Amino acid sequence: MNNKKLLKLTIINVLIIFLFFLLLEITVRLLYPQIHLSGSSSALFKDSVYYYSAGLVPNSIGTSYGVKKEVNPNGFWKYNNSLQSINKKKKWLFLGDSITMGIGVDNDSTFPGIINSEADSVEILNSAMIGYSSLDYLNIVKKLIQKDGNSIGVQKIFIFWCLNDIYDFYPTSNSPDYREKGIFGNVIKFLSANLKTWQLLKEVFSDRQKDYFLYDYQFYESSNPLYNKSIVNIKECASIARSKNVDISVIILPYEYQIRNFNKKELFRPQKLFQKKLESTGIKIFDISEDFKPYTNDSKSLYLFGDGIHFSELGHKLISKILLTRFLN
């Protein structure tokens, strides 16, 4: 076979392989519209908004996990009826990470957005952002409540605690989200951001929900410095809030792997340990895991596809119902 024929054959084979994977990707997108590609628009965020913690860019528009996201003029997530009703007398400040931000879910379908719409007496000021941890919550409280003297008029602060809020980075290379640097790491990043087939394969051939939970589970020990630092940060948040007569509560959000294995009570040890410690300091803390029990056999429906941490629209709806019942009725 001469070089011309070999080149032609190679090109044909490459095209066939390319068309095969293109067809596969199209098929997956048609059959699994619930799969979200990772990534958020950098235009939504900027550095050093709350001291050295990043924050939201006022009036910005972007996407997060394929869903449109907007920020209101005051630097909080925008909801359809925000800043429009003079009847909304109470202002609740929501502190949280990507869960409370609601990646992969339209703003008005997230639990902060639903509460903002359904509770006529409340306006939700949601500052949540991807990657936030207890230190960021403290910086926000220091800036908005302490330094600015609560000029925005917050009556209640809610910290929505995800177990991974105990750290602001993955401390070890054995974390489930750890990526090698260089070409291999860039390839994985590209696949996660662009191919739903890749996301499907990860769900089929691994249990990422379990991996993430077990990794975060290990940090909840009374001797762990990250755990103890988180307690200190939340206690300082509470101290600042009380000094300004602002009520503060912590809401612990469960992982899918915990709900799937609801009868294994040892899996809820992080919540119990955290709750007991904060309650001993007088901080109000609520573990809403029990409200998820009816979904034990359908736990994945409450979370994004292949995700054991971030909630689906159904999950956000459930959380909004829990919060509206507990804090408004």
Question: Residues 109-136: what's their mean pLDDT?
Answer: 95
pLDDT (tens digit, 9 = 90+) per residue, 196-243?
998 899 888 999 999 999 999 999 999 999 999 999 999 999 999 999
Q: Which of 158, 21, 153 is nearest to 91 (CA)?
A: 153
The identity of residue 45, as a single letter, is F
Most confident residue range from 16-30, 169-183, 266-280: 266-280
pLDDT confidence of residue 329: 62
pLDDT (tens digit, 9 = 90+) per residue, 78-87?
998 655 555 5
pLDDT confidence of residue 38: 86
Q: Assign residue 287 a region (left: φ > 0; alpha: ψ between -120 and 50; beta: otherwise).
A: beta
pLDDT confidence of residue 86: 52
- The whole-model pTM stands at 0.92
pLDDT (tens digit, 9 = 90+) per residue, 59-100?
999 999 999 999 999 999 999 865 555 556 799 999 999 999
Per-residue pLDDT band for 8 (boundaries 50, 70, 90) equals confident
Q: Is the pLDDT of residue 314 over 80?
A: yes
Q: Is the pLDDT of residue 143 over 60?
A: yes
Question: How far from 180 is each of 74, 159, 173, 203, 264, CA to CA, in Å?
Answer: 38, 32, 9, 21, 34
Per-residue pLDDT band for 191 (boundaries 50, 70, 90) equals confident
Report the top-level CATH class of 42-173+201-328: alpha beta
pLDDT (tens digit, 9 = 90+) per residue, 23-53?
998 999 999 999 988 889 999 999 999 999 9
Per-residue pLDDT band for 3 (boundaries 50, 70, 90) equals confident
Q: Is the pLDDT of residue 256 over 60?
A: yes
Q: Is the pLDDT of residue 140 over 70?
A: yes
Angle at which helix 196-205 crosses helix 3-31, to 10 degrees, equals 70
Delimit the domains of the chain by residue range.
Answer: 1-31, 42-173+201-328
Question: Residues 316-324: what's their mean pLDDT?
Answer: 97
Question: How far from 295 is each of 169, 210, 291, CA to CA, in Å?
Answer: 31, 17, 9
pLDDT confidence of residue 178: 62
